Chain A
């Protein structure tokens, strides 16, 4: 999944996840490289998934 740092919506998702990480694990842990990388990758995935519109009558999550 490629990053897109210029998209404000993706940036918003990343900022939200970072805030949650600081609350859950503290400033120091949240600033560590591997956690930052995981936050970035997750933000891109969450943002990309959220771009897709599904009607209420579209696919149920499980068949």
Chain B
């Protein structure tokens, strides 16, 4: 990266952090630039639901004072970020797209926000979510094409990162809500292993499936993020020192995806093989339709348990798809939920065994490019890893013609081997062409 050649708003989080540490970039200038950008090119996207400009500028001035004083700096010192509007933010409304929460102002930050701030990052504002992170589309536009969905539920997070409104943003995933928006917007999306990041202060959708994740513009930024918020030791990612990985092309996923997405994934695999990766076909270890059925039963039952009282307390306040999902979820038999939970253990074991042959699965992130705005897209190829709690990451890999929409591949590895997955992703990223910004947002 050359600081002189790259506009401030285009910097990744890691690039910005390096320039801030060396005194070449002012956190105040960076925050001011992004706030101005939110009001100009960002206004039509509807990615931000709430900016916190005054406090962000105050934090940036504090970051500059710390720099001048020569005090120890956090890894994300002075780097701005946004948070999906289901993460509690102290003194700043957290509404989750739910009308009755329009004036809900938490007194304490979610742990993920708190930890990012402890590492020096600056919260600029809150980003649009589908209501309670379910599937009713949000008002956010896809910066690549306004008539296409940005995906969901982390719609605002993905669109804002793609449009260079913010270097990175917090998201969450219960089925596919980090990786699918990442794919539809041409950015990197990373969902760490279940339990790797605290969910305290994050409004739930389905407890045993909800994951905290991140949207960013490089794998290096995902590693920085994990190091900051992880409950365990930080990962080390060194693309220069990595050996080419063994990758397992997941045949059930290739069969499910559109011919275009499937062919594109095979082409990416061929390119990675040319660079030295060993690629072979593998199986999830269980039929995809069974994996999705188990995920469906668990998610719908837990979502109903989360929401049925709110539904009665605030009649008419829930979006129509979420309302129907909760109403039907209340009718599902308890024995089926327990049966599905047992099958979940069997599926996780089978998937773990499939992964013994390779370093990571390789598959399309989404079944095709972003569809129209009446939907947030199909979670079928992201949900398997939400079910088993394995880490997964979406890498942007090109632009589909004639629509000019982003394509992406997904990497997934064994549970609690997040560092290894990031290393594999970093190696793959280095072999692939850089993803451009959408037209009008470069």
Contact = CB atoms under 8 A, between A and B. Distances in A.
A53 to B, nearest CB: 10
Contacts, number: 88
A9 interface: no
B287 to A, nearest CB: 9
Interface string B318-340: 00110111011111110010111
Given A52-B290, A58-B346, A61-B342, A46 B297 contact: yes
B293 A49 contact: yes
Contacts of B339: 49-50, 52, 54
Nearest to A30: B327
B297 A63 contact: no
B19 to A, nearest CB: 45
Given A34-B320, A48-B293, A49-B339, A42 B345 contact: no
A29 to B, nearest CB: 8
Contacts of B323: 34
Contacts of A58: 342, 346
B238 interface: no
B292 interface: yes
Given A17-B328, A45-B296, A61 B345 contact: yes
A60 B345 contact: yes
Contacts of A29: 327
A59 interface: yes
B376 to A, nearest CB: 15
B277 interface: no
B296 A42 contact: yes
Q: Which of A52, A58, A60 has the most CB of B within 10 A?
A: A52
B289 interface: yes
Contact of B328 (A38, A54, A62): A38
B8 interface: no
A38 B294 contact: no
B300 interface: yes
A34 B331 contact: no
A49 B331 contact: no
A20 B346 contact: no
Given A49-B297, A52-B290, A54-B343, A25 B327 contact: yes
A17 B339 CA distance: 18
Given A38-B324, A39-B328, A59 B297 contact: no
Given A24-B327, A49-B294, 19 more contacts: A1-B296, A21-B327, A21-B328, A21-B331, A25-B327, A35-B328, A41-B296, A42-B328, A44-B293, A45-B292, A45-B296, A45-B300, A46-B293, A49-B293, A50-B339, A54-B339, A59-B343, A61-B341, A61-B342
Interface of B: 289-290, 292-294, 296-297, 300, 320-321, 323-325, 327-333, 336, 338-346, 349
Report the 3 A-B pairs with minimum CB-CB distance, sorted nearest first.
A61-B341, A48-B293, A45-B296
